Amino acid sequence: MIELKDLQLLTALTRHQHFAKAAEACNMSQPAFSMRIRGLEDKLGLSIVRRGNRFQGLTAEGQMIVERARSILDDAKALNQEIAAARGEVTGTLIVGVVPTATSYAAQLIDRMHQAHPRVLVRLEVTTSLNIQQRLYDGTLDVGVTYSDSVGRDDMSVQHLYDEAYVLFASEQLLEGHGPDISWQAAAQLPLSLLEPQMQNRRILDRIFSDLSLRPEIVSEASGFMASIVMARAGSVATILPRALIEALGPLEGTRALKLIEPEPSWPICLASIERQPELTTIRALKGVIAATAP
């Protein structure tokens, strides 16, 4: 019989496309990991992995096993959670993927989840909207907090959370003479630190500037907001942040956050998950927390 552990290792290898990285993710040494995969091939009497000097992908038989493995592992996880729910408990691990712009919202949501269901361990992984979509499909994320327009396929459950709006954040010195608002045209005249181009938030900002025929002065790029915030506080650059992030951080001495106007765009952020029957109790509990705090 194939063991669940074997299926877990195989899906990890598919996700990481690298034996050493998959072994590390599974808290195993690479030799032990490789031996376990080889043992599974011997047990089944077929090749699962195409091998060379490095991992070269799965054979057709290996791909078939992985596709079935994801469903089996989902069912096993759901069964464990249903058994706990039958005892009146909500327990287990909930893996949440979140786009960088929604990190502050997700952190507050996780805090409320912990208060309501302290036995649920929530693992927050900050990544791109594309990666969230891919990992929801392959079962390595339970839910995603992401842009609504990045969610595809009919078998996806989508729940609107809030609309993302933007502010310009910079030092008081850099923003001297400005009121509480600033136009995108004026913002484009300032030295800016933004997210990297592959991030959807950056693509949104680039689209706004392009639609206004503006060419902003971008002096640095980062995979997250922290570097831009630190640089902005130092006074060398300005940055464009989600309003929800600034509201969560609160006032920062020596800085200002100006509402961006002309235009005032917003993008919907949603909670996305693959439709399952029955739904994981941890996901159902998270949706309950969201509903309890909705305006």
Distance of CA 126 to the CA centre of its chain: 4
Contacts 24+ apart (CB under 8 A), 87-91: 89/119, 90/117, 90/119, 90/120, 90/281, 90/282, 90/285, 91/117, 91/119, 91/120
pLDDT at 168: 97
Mean pLDDT of 112-136: 90
Task: Note the pLDDT tens digit of each residue in 76-114.
Answer: 777 776 776 666 677 788 999 999 999 999 999 999 999
Tell me which of 36 and 67 has the higher pLDDT.
Answer: 36
- Quote the Cα angle for 165-167-173, to 5°: 180
* Helices of type H across 87-128: 103-116
Residue 63 predicted with pLDDT over 90: no
Q: What SS3 state is found at 265?
A: coil
Pairwise CA distance, residues 287 & 192, whole Å: 37
Tell me how crowded residue 3 is: count the other CB atoms within 10 A of its CB. 11
Mean pLDDT (the chain) is: 88
Mean pLDDT of 47-70: 81
Contact partners, residue 3, CB within 8 Å, separation at least 6: none
pLDDT class for 68, splitting at 50, 70, 90?
confident
DSSP 101: G
Residue 65 predicted with pLDDT over 90: no
Residue 75 predicted with pLDDT over 80: no
Residue 208 predicted with pLDDT over 70: yes
Task: Note the pLDDT tens digit of each residue in 162-184.
Answer: 999 999 999 999 999 899 999 99
